[in-house]
Amino acid sequence: MRAKPTAPDLDSLRLFDSCLTLGDFVLSRAPAPVTAQNVTAFLDRYHIAEALVHDHHARYTHPREHGNRRLLEAIRGNRRLHPSWVLEPPKKPERKAAEAVVREMLNAGVKVARLPMKAVPPMAWWWKDLLSVLEAHRVPCFLDFGGVTSTGALSNGDVDGIRDIALAHPRLPLVLSNVFGGLGVHAAVVPLIRRVPNLYLDNAGILQFWREVAVEVGPERVLFATAAPFVDAGILISNVQYTHTLDMKAKRMICGDNLRRLIRSVR
């Protein structure tokens, strides 16, 4: 008698990785990079159907626009890859400059932004112009707290700043990304997500805490992310695949359907 499977087949989950860093590294002692030349093999190896990618140089060096534009050339023609641009507030405190940046991004077919919170902390007044424009277009924004190892941590000030930003821009989807640090995840994350309906969490580097959000708040508030190549993708994938606290519908939401829904909502 054949035993029933204990976990869904990976292909049935339609994995959509929301955090994949692409490109040659500018950092020393970095893991083997995922590049335009080997990315398809990487996706196939882990049964990842699609991936939201950003350029390594855009994430860590200035001017960020060089890496953003290079990303478009690197993934051109690969329909499994979706570009995400790394954005900072324009230096001029005016909406016109922010509108120009967002217009260029949308015209290039980029529908997701990654915001480097370590470089520009979550201060509502600093981000106001750019986030107001992104909110008008419902562009999903990943609040990236990752450092050189792609993992970070939230301070009390960060949590308060995230709350202020989310409440100031209620129609803007905001995703907490790479918030796992040496001491785990800030205890206020679940209470914050409960209180702020436009706030989500990706599971980059997180093996347990994302389940708490998915079960207590809802699976529609969690997005799958490998944070590759800084984190072993297989660990994060099996962590979702084999969890016993969520049914197949919830797993598919987390593994890709939530992100697909947010991208379809961009105006």
The pTM (predicted TM-score) of the whole model is 0.94
Residue 136 falls within a domain, yes or no?
yes
Per-residue pLDDT of the chain (267 residues; tens, 9 = 90+): 344 445 789 999 999 999 999 998 766 566 889 999 999 999 999 999 999 999 999 998 899 999 999 999 999 999 999 999 999 999 988 899 999 999 999 999 999 999 999 999 999 999 999 999 999 999 999 999 987 666 778 999 999 999 999 999 999 999 999 998 766 899 999 999 999 999 999 999 888 899 999 999 999 999 999 999 988 999 999 999 999 999 999 999 999 999 999 999 999
β-strand partners of 81: 51
Residue 4 falls within a domain, yes or no?
no
Residue 5 falls within a domain, yes or no?
no
Residue 107 falls within a domain, yes or no?
yes
Number of domains in the chain: 1
**In this structure, are strands 199-202 and 112-116 parallel, antiparallel, or unpaired?**
unpaired
CA distance 3 to 188: 42
β-strand partners of 228: 20
Q: Which residue type is seen at 55?
A: D
CA distance 243 to 104: 41
- CATH number for position 142: 3.20.20.140
φ, ψ for residue 52, nearest 5 deg = -90, 115
Q: Classify burial at 223, counting beta carbons within 10 Å of its beta carbon; exposed 0-12, middle 13-18, buried 19 or more.
A: buried
Residue range of the domain that includes 247 = 10-264
CA distance 50 to 256: 9
CA distance 64 to 78: 22
* pLDDT at residue number 148: 64
CA distance 167 to 162: 9
Residue 3 falls within a domain, yes or no?
no
Residue 1 falls within a domain, yes or no?
no
Residue 121 falls within a domain, yes or no?
yes
